[in-house]
Amino acid sequence: MKLVKMFIVVALVFVLGGVLGVRLGGSGLQADVPQQAAVAQPQTVVQSQAVVNEAALAQVGLVGVLQAIGSESLSVQTTEGMQLLTVNGKADLGNGSSAIDQLRAGDKVAVWSQNIQGHNVVTKIVVIPQSPTRIHYVGLIGSLNGDQLDVVGQQGELTTFRIDQTLQNLPDANRKPQVGDQVTVVAKPDPLGEGWLAVAVVKQ
């Protein structure tokens, strides 16, 4: 009778072990741990790295004036400050040529670059022809804000001029322009971007 009970107990252990994921081993009962660990983690890391690489290779454009040209680098003055760019010898100058020696300091350029391993590498450069045209704009100073001068024209239109330390104030060099002044602004195309750079402000 005891032998029968023992067989029944052993049978129950095997049945319950199969249901609950417990097996008999040489060292006693062991729990079967599911092996479906997060196998998607390596794929997630690869996808994240791909997104980072794609963002780094996105082209960025800027407009400015060439200040210095080296065999492997360019420095370009923009409205946001000086930008140092790396040249790898493959930059397209916009006319099918990649000869960096065609560039000259003082050229107004549009530059496209990519961030490659922490360096802004030039992919394309286009020299923007500069017009010698100057304009004389008559109007009333509407506002002065940092390096910007807003002038209301004779037809009521608003024109913004960039100003820098080279601005000439006439006829009195010691008197700075003020809001409400009736002026004539002498300006030229802005070499650092679109719009106009004020060369002189003549108070009427």
Q: Are 141 and 116 part of one and the same domain? A: no
Element (H, E) at 167: none
Strands (E), the chain: 22-25, 28-31, 60-69, 73-78, 81-86, 108-116, 119-127, 135-145, 148-153, 158-162, 168-170, 182-189, 196-203
Report yes or no on 92 lying in a domain.
yes
Is residue 182 situated within a structural domain? yes
Does residue 10 lie in a domain region? no
User: What percent of the chain has a predicted confidence (pLDDT) above 70?
Assistant: 66
Indicate whether 122 and 139 sit together in one domain: no
**Domain final position from 107, 127, 147:** 127
In a domain, 164, yes or no: yes
Q: How far apart are CA 88 and CA 58, in angstroms?
A: 17
Residue 157 sits in a domain of what CATH number?
Answer: 2.40.50.140
CATH of the domain at 99: 2.40.50.320
Same domain, 143 and 193: yes
**Per-residue pLDDT tens over the stretch 30-82:** 444 444 444 445 565 555 555 445 555 677 889 998 998 887 888 999 988 89
Domain termination site, one of 102, 127, 152: 127
**Final residue in a domain of this structure, among 91, 106, 127:** 127
Count of structural domains within the chain: 2
In a domain, 197, yes or no: yes
Residues 64, 108 share a domain: yes
Same domain, 117 and 78: yes
Q: Show the domain range for 169.
A: 135-203
Decide if 39 is inside a domain: no
Residue 186 falls inside a structural domain: yes
Of 136, 153, 151, 141, the C-alpha closest to 181 is 141
Q: In this structure, is residue 73 part of a structural domain?
A: yes
Residue 30: its pLDDT value, please? 47
Q: Does the global pTM surpass 0.85?
A: no
pLDDT of residue 51: 47
Assess whether 84 and 110 both reside in one domain.
yes
Task: Say whether both 176 and 140 belong to one domain.
Answer: yes
Q: Give 195's DSSP letter.
A: S
Confidence of residue 99 (pLDDT cuts 50, 70, 90): low
- Range with the poorest average pLDDT among 13-17, 133-137, 141-145: 13-17
